[in-house]
Amino acid sequence: MLLYDQHIPEGAKDGAPLLVLLHGRGSHKGDLMGLRPALPADAIIVTPQAPFPGAPWGYGDGWAWYRFLGGTTPEPETFEEGQAALEAFLQEIPSRLPVRPGPIILGGFSQGATTSLAYTLRHPGEIDGVLVFSGFLASHPSVQARPETASGLRVFWAHGTRDQMIPFANATDGRAALREAGADLTARDYPIGHWIEAQELADAVNWLSTTVGAGVQPR
């Protein structure tokens, strides 16, 4: 089981939305918990820590979901291991919560966003929506944006037009593939680099308010 931080709202009830947020390369489980004050007050927030130490790959003292080979390509073996670790986490985490969650939103920043989108396409119907902050659609045989994996999938994809870590062209290419496959895609662009800004987060929360609606039954 991956290490993780969590926030359970006071008075949480069955059916509360569950946001699972994955940090970027070289970061840690506490990173995206810093977004909590701006996120929906009724949401359960869980932030797992990636399984691989980043130092051997030159990513600093933090953690990684896979080894990055360049472009939009993950190293195949570590990518599969990271996906398997995330799958095991998502299968177990509902049983560790004090209430039964309602809709599950998976998302993250940078490598966490790429990992989230890949997982959702590999497990169609399991995740209710995806938050992609500055990620890309991974070039890997198991990650296919096809109608059977992406049709109707709700995705919020935000990206900086000045991003020097994950070029904006990667966002336009990934979005185009999702649209062609029939995803319900909301795309937002910002004149920023490789980070999350306040307006971007506000737009994501507005998207969540329509995606994570009232009256959703507990799982």
Cα separation, 57 vs 130, in Å, equals 27
* Domains of the chain, residue spans: 50-211
| Helix axis angle, 76-92 to 111-122, nearest 10° | 70
What does the buried/exposed string (b/e) look like for 176-197 if buried means 16 or more CB atoms within 10 Å of the residue's CB? ebbeebbbebbbeebebebebe
Cα separation, 115 vs 131, in Å, equals 11
pLDDT for res 208: 94
Determine contact, residues 30/5, Cβ cutoff 8 Å. yes
What does the buried/exposed string (b/e) look like for 13-52 if buried means 16 or more CB atoms within 10 Å of the residue's CB? eebbbbbbbbbbbbbbbebbbebbeebbeebbbbbbbbbb
Helices (DSSP H) in 29-151: which residue ranges? Answer: 76-92, 111-122, 147-150
pLDDT for res 211: 80
Non-local (6+) Cβ contacts of 71 within 8 A are 139
pLDDT for res 213: 60
Cα separation, 159 vs 171, in Å, equals 7
- Partners of 27 in beta bridges: 63
Cα separation, 205 vs 110, in Å, equals 18
Cα separation, 117 vs 171, in Å, equals 12
Question: Domain 50-211 carries which CATH code?
Answer: 3.40.50.1820
Determine contact, residues 182/147, Cβ cutoff 8 Å. yes
pLDDT by residue for the chain (219 residues), tens only, comes to 999 999 999 999 999 999 999 999 999 999 999 999 999 999 999 999 999 999 999 999 999 999 999 999 999 999 999 999 999 999 999 999 999 999 999 999 999 999 999 999 999 999 999 999 999 999 999 999 999 999 999 999 999 999 999 999 999 999 999 999 999 999 999 999 999 999 999 999 999 998 866 333 344
Determine contact, residues 103/19, Cβ cutoff 8 Å. no
